[in-house]
A and B are shown apart, each in its own frame.
Chain A
C-alpha cells in the first residue's frame, strides 16, 4: 500500500530524514517510536506532502503510484489521511463545514459526531479554544468523514485524559478495521486478509497499543530507521532500557 524508498527529507535546508525505507502492506498497522526530534513527525508530514518538508531524495509510492511530488490534496484524494498534532484554528469555518469538506458532503455528520460525543462542537469555529483531547476527537472525526485507506496518526493519545483514551482507542481501532468481531466465526487470519485499511501511528507512550494491535513497530533515531520488529517487544525494551539499549538490541 505504502512504499517508502531511500527517502531523504529536508526541513528549512537541514536534512532530517536520511535514507529511510519502509513498506506498509494493505491491512497492516505500524507503530513508529523514537525519541523527540528523531524525525517521526517529519516522516508523516513528508508522506502526506506538506511543502515545507522537502523531499531531497528517494521516492514514495502509494498503491503502486509514485506520489513523491504530488500536492497535499491529491494525496488526500488518493486515500491518505493525517491527524494533526497541533492543527491551526480557522475562524469562521465551522466544525460542521470542515466535516462536510472531509466527507465531500456525502456523510451523515450528526451521527458521526455522536459517535465521538462531539455534537456540541459542530457549530464551533474549527479548533477554536479546543482542549488537547477535543483536538484529538476533532481530528479523528475529520478522518472518519474523510474515510481514507491509509492513516497517518501523530500521537493520537497525547493530551487525552484517561476517560477519553479508551474512546479514542476504540475509534482508531474501528477506523483501522482492527476490532475483533467474536460473533463472526472467522479466524484472525481471515480477518486480517479482509482488512483493507492501513496505518502508521506515532506513539510516544505506547498507550494506544493497549487498544489496537499493531503489526510492526519501528524505531526512528536521528532520522534513520534503527530497528523494526514486534511493536510490543520494542515498546517493552524502550520502557525498560531506553532507546539506546533498544537500538543496540536490534543489532545496529
Chain B
C-alpha cells in the first residue's frame, strides 16, 4: 500500500501532542497500549453471560435473529464478524483495506488525521475497527450491529471505522460500546468516517454503556452527497468519566439531509461534552439537531453548530435540558452561522427543572408526585425519530428504559 499512508502518518506524528479544542486533556500515556489477543468466536452463543448483558445494554443483541450482520471487537481483537445479507458488508477494517485498494481514498477523508492528539493517536496506534458498507441499490433488511467491547482494565482502545452507504442503498446500523462489569478505567478513541452516496440512506444508532472512570473521545465525520440522508442517534445514559465528541457532517450534495438526535443522562461524577455540527454546502440541504439532556449531578455541555454556506438551505437546532439535582450542570451552546441571505436557521434551547404545573396536572389525575415526575422525565427522554427502523427504535427504547430505572 504505497498510498498516502506515510503522509498521514507524518501528519499524525506532528499532531501527537495537539490538545483538543474541547474536553479535558487526557494523559493518554496513562493507559496500556496493548494486551493479549482474544480468540475468534464463530458462534455468537459462545459469548459469556456478562458480555451478552453488557452488550445488550448498549443495544447489541447477540441472540437476536433480526440482524443482518454482527461485528464484535473485544479489547484489541476482532472476535466476530459476519454478514448475513448479500450486499451488506461488515468486516475488520484492516481486512477491508487489504481487500479493497480503493479504500485508502476514504481513509481520513472526512476526519482530519491531525485534528488533535486523539486522531493522531489512532493513526499511529490503531488496532482494528469495523468496515460496514451497503452495495449500490441494496437495502439492509435488518440493522447491522457492531460492538466495541472493553474487557481489560486500563486499556487504550483505538479504532478506525469506515461506513459507506453506496448510491441508492439503505443501511441501518446499531453500534454499542460497552465495558465488562469489572472494568473501571480505560480510554476509548474511535474514529468513524461515514460516506453517504447519492440517494443513499444511512441510519446510525450508537448506545454507550461505559463505566465511571472511562475516558471516551470519539471522532466522527460524515459526507453526504445529493439526495442522501444521514440519521444519527446517540444515547448515553450510563456513567462515564469524561466523554467528549463533536461529530461533523458535511452536506455537499443538493438536497442532502442530516439529523442528529442525542439523549444524555449524566449522573454525579460524569462529564459529557457532546454536540453535533453540520455544514450545509448545497442547495436544498436540510438539517436538524435535537438533544435531550438530564443531569442528576453530572455535567453536560450540549453543543450544536449549524453553518449555512449557500442559499436555499434550512436547519434547526433544539436543545432541552432538565436539571434534577442542584449539583448538576447543563450548559447548552447552540450556534447558528449564516453566510448568505437566503438561509433559514433557527434554534430553541431550554434548560431548567420540571415545570411544577406539569407535575400538578398529573397529580390531579391521581399520580403521586414521584410517579408524576417519572412520567414527565420519561416523556422528556422519548424523542420521536422519523425514519428509524422498528428494531432500532426498540433498542433505543430499551436503553432508555434500563437507565430510567436507575435514574428515578
Q: What residues of chain A have their CB less than 8 Å away from a CB belonging to chain B?
A: 48, 50-51, 71-73, 76-77, 81-82, 84, 87-88, 90-93, 97-98, 101-102, 104, 125, 142, 146
Contacts and interface: CB of A to CB of B under 8 A. Distances in A.
Contacts of B369: 71, 73
B357 interface: yes
Contact of B363 (A76, A87, A88, A90): A76
A101 B361 contact: no
Contacts of A142: 365
A73 B383 CA distance: 28
B361 A87 contact: yes
Interface of B: 355, 357-358, 360-369, 372, 375-376, 378-383
> What secondary structure prevails in chain B residues at the interface with A?
helix
A146 B380 contact: no
Contacts, number: 62
Interface core residue of A71, A88, A97 (most chain B CB under 10 Å): A88
Identify the 10 closest CB pairs spanning chains A and B, nearest first.
Answer: A92-B379, A93-B379, A92-B382, A72-B363, A76-B366, A73-B363, A88-B357, A102-B365, A88-B358, A77-B366
Given A91-B379, A92-B381, A93-B375, A82 B358 contact: no
B356 to A, nearest CB: 8
Given A91-B380, A92-B379, A72 B358 contact: no
A90 to B, nearest CB: 5
Contact of B366 (A87, A93, A101, A125): A101
Contacts of A102: 365-366
Nearest to A125: B379
Given A72-B360, A88-B357, A101 B365 contact: yes
Nearest to B383: A92
Given A51-B360, A88-B358, A146 B365 contact: yes
A142 B362 CA distance: 11
25 contacts: A50-B360, A51-B360, A72-B363, A73-B363, A73-B364, A73-B368, A73-B372, A76-B363, A81-B364, A84-B361, A84-B364, A87-B361, A88-B355, A88-B357, A90-B362, A90-B379, A92-B378, A92-B382, A92-B383, A97-B375, A98-B365, A101-B375, A102-B366, A142-B365, A146-B366
A73 B360 CA distance: 8
